[in-house]
Amino acid sequence: MEKKEREERIWLTHPAGIEAASLQIIEKELNLRKTVLPPDEMMVLKRVIHATADFDYAQNLVFSPQAVSEGVKALQQGRPVCTDTNMARAGISQSGLKKLGAGVYCYMTDPEVENQARETGKTRAAFAVRKAAGLLPEAVFVIGNAPTALVELAEQIRQGYTPSLVIGIPVGFVNVTEAKEEILRCCRTYHIPYIVGRGRKGGTSAAVAVINALIYEAARMTDPYSRLDQKKS
């Protein structure tokens, strides 16, 4: 085995090498599909495809004007991040948030939220968003599971709440498409930045990929090697 080939194989067993090679493959395939987006939106799209292996997001993911730059600015200002699941919370870059001085919150297991859901028969996700809107000014919302969270967030916006960014990519079959269209209409009406995945597809991995792409950009951590170094420190 030649030295160069041996070095390449070693590189592709390294987490940073795997990530870099994956993104190169994605970029080549997007070029073959003639996908054209602004560079910042392309950066986010590649992260979502990296997390899902689903190139349909090239058509399904929609951005408001300057959504990426607005999200990056909010994170650099230390705006809180709020998710609809603890799984999403666990997947968001903790080292990036620490560098930015931002926190991530999820109220799905909050006792008050659980009691309200039990007493009313409505989802915890809806009450978790309502609680977050009362506690977290100008939060970045990351919704990858519960369409009812998007519906409640739209209602909070209509009542005067102003999130810094809405990332809405829940997955499912019941009221999912409708919830996404509702948050799109609401955000456009009230001029709230958004990144939304239309249709049934979505999920926590896609939503987390979006917010992590923004965190990496905001914290200047786009180089995978730099992120590994920061995890060790």
Annotated active-site positions, please?
Answer: 50
- Token pair belonging to 190: 């009230």
How far out from the chain centre does Cα 60 lie? 14
Rounded to 10°, the helix 124-135/147-158 angle is 40
* Pairing verdict, β 81-83 and 104-105: parallel
How far is the C-alpha of 81 from the C-alpha of 137, rounded, in Å?
A: 10
- Closest CA relative to residue 84, chosen from 174, 178, 168: 168
- Token pair belonging to 86: 């603890």
* Residue 206 · residue 57 · CB < 8 Å: yes
Question: Exposed/middle/buried for 73, CB within 10 Å: 0-12, 13-18, 19+?
Answer: middle
Secondary structure of residue 79 in the 3-state scheme: coil
